[in-house]
A and B are shown apart, each in its own frame.
Chain A
Amino acid sequence: MRYLTLLRAKQSTTPPPPELMAAIMALGEEATKAGALLDTSGLAPSASGARVSLAGGELMLTDGPFAESKEVISYAIYEVRSKEEAVEWASRFLRVHQDLWPGWEGEVDVLKLFGPEDFPAAGA
């Protein structure tokens, strides 16, 4: 089964410590070599993006940045055998932040992508 993880955090005024970036790269390599990490990318601040919305029958375009207190920083797609496995990779990802960037706060949403296992006839 496949999970999309979205990392959300406050935009920091200081760059992340180089040791953290090294640890993130190492963890990404480990997850890739374990066959779990299928795809990942960092996301630029919402200032360089836009939002298209539909409300009251009207399409509306809003340029970034958006007013949310936390920005989506990156995403990853994992192929794993249970939700707990995806949660474990997400926890490891946050743990390197905990160890190497004191005071940093963020969260990871672990979202299941629908797959054949969600449709009983096909997943049997």
Chain B
Amino acid sequence: MNSDAKAVLEAVWRIESARLVASLARLVQDVGVAEEIAQDTLVIALEQWPRDGVPREPGPWLRATAKHRAIDLIRRRTNYASKLAVLAHDAIPREDDDELIDSLDDHIGDDLLRLIFTAAHPVLSVEARAALTLRLLGGLSTPEIARAFLISEATAAQRIVRAKRTLAEAGVRFSMPAPAEIGERLGTVLGVVYLIFNEGYAATGGTDWAQPALCREAIRLGRVLAGLLPDEPEVHGLLALMELQASRLPARIAADGRPVLLDDQDRRLWDRLLIRRGLAALERAEELGGGLYSLQAAIAACHARAHTAADTDWARIAALYEVLAYLLPSPVVRLNQAVAVGRAGDPARGLRIADGLGAERSLRDYPQLPAVRGELLAQLGRAAEARTEFGRAASLTRNEAERELFRARAESAVVHVDPGPAVAQ
């Protein structure tokens, strides 16, 4: 091995840490304690590997070392409990070490699922679920999590500590939800994964248009879930959605760092492997019955299948949005529907849908609302009004790259009074 021992350890840690924490959590019944044991194990490896060399089988080495730490801890606890029990004239049998060690290797999949459900538990705030999921399932460090959410390291550390304390105080057992609860709880898990993805896909502040690393982490979590819950349609639906959206990442930023909108993207840069995997996951999701994520993936698939922007099947996208808006009548879905209807050839109806959203409190400061109105007005040839709307969008966005884009669009709205290609057809 000529690679640096620390770099090897970091790689092995990425592969092993979630399973390590998961199996430890079943033993000690507390994710916080489990993570501490895992961190202790990491520290031991950090001391030993650079000195003694990387072990022949680094994964099993980490597992064995963690087991011994856990067993020490349980022994101390059991001894303490035994002493109490003796006082209570009731002996507690001591578990055999071998049995404990065996039990650590069993049901790794079940343990991981339990860990996923615990990290995304409803007693936690949405931010805490995301931070804890990245920490426990992704093995991300506190600085990495801080960077992901554009918060300070102190805030990130506090968020994680509080989340673990909340779980302990709420008496959340390290267990699977009851069968009747699984559907609902799976919803919170998928929500967390998609939140992480979106945090990467459309960075809400700062100067970066996207944080591809965070997207990849969310997709990895989605793949892990698909492996653990192969019969859940929405797991595949979400995975399909993320793989298809991520396939466009390489084309979303120009060489000068500016964002490139869908229509203007060089589709040769789209990731064919992700598209292929996304379409396969969508097919699986639809076979299993689909759902809201699958519908959104079906929309993303329409873009993925179009070799040029002009080839896009906007009629199908508008129809899919019709169903989605019926099932999930959220303002953002309605707004996207307005765009699709406009592109499918009816900008006047699109504008009516967008105008119907003007009273939505949640959209009051949402830059996309005036931006969409601007597009539809431009399509209708109402350039002056379009320009006003794009100016308003530019003043609302917190993303600098996006602001530039809206400003440029405001300029061009004056010149381009002719309707877009989708209407011209």
Chain A contacts of B12 at CB under 8 A?
A: 88
Chain B proximity mask over A113-124: 1 for CB below 8 Å, otherwise 0:
001110101111
A-B contact count (CB 8 A): 76
The answer to whether residues A95 and B57 also contact, given A33-B228, A82-B10 and a CB cut-off of 8 A, is: yes
- Closest CB in chain A relative to B194 CB, distance in Å: 16
Q: Tell me if B288 counts as interface (CB < 8 A to partner A).
A: no
Which residues of A from 31 to 56 have beta carbons under 8 Å from B?
32-36, 38-39
Contact B249 A116 (CB under 8 A): yes
One of A92, A95, A123 near B212 (C-beta < 8 A): A123
Contact pick for A38, options B227, B249, B273, CB 8 Å = B273
Residues of B within 8 A of A38 (CB): 273, 277
Per-residue interface assignment for chain A, residues 94 to 124, with 1 indicating a CB less than 8 Å from any chain B CB and 0 otherwise: 0100000000000000000001110101111
- Classify the secondary structure of B's interface with A: helix
A84 at the interface (CB under 8 A from B): yes
What 1/0 mask marks residues of chain A from 73 to 90 whose CB sits below 8 Å from any chain B CB?
Answer: 000010111111101110
Contacts of B253 in A (CB 8 A): 116, 121-122
With most chain A CB atoms within 10 A of its CB, the pick from B8, B208, B228 is: B8
Residues of B near A84 (CB, < 8 A) are 3, 7-8, 10-11
Interchain CA distance A114-B257 in the complex, whole Å: 18
Chain A residues lying within 8 Å of B414, measured Cβ to Cβ, are none
1/0 per residue, CB under 8 A from A, across B248-289: the answer is 011001111100000000000000010001000000000000
* B14 with A81: CB separation less than 8 A: yes
CA distance A92 to B256 in the complex (A): 41
CA distance A40 to B354 in the complex (A): 46
B68 at the interface (CB under 8 A from A): no
Residues of A within 8 A of B273 (CB): 38-39, 77
Interface bits B205-217 vs A (CB < 8 Å: 1, else 0): 0001000110010
A35 touches B221 (CB 8 A): yes
Q: Which chain A residue lies CB-closest to B227?
A: A33
CB distance from B18 to the nearest CB of A (A): 9
CB contacts (< 8 Å) of A95 on chain B: these are 56-57
B291 within 8 Å of A (CB atoms): no
Contact A79-B10, Cβ < 8 Å, known A116-B212, A116-B250, A121-B257: no
Report A's interface with B, CB cutoff 8 A: 32-36, 38-39, 77, 79-85, 87-89, 92, 95, 115-117, 119, 121-124
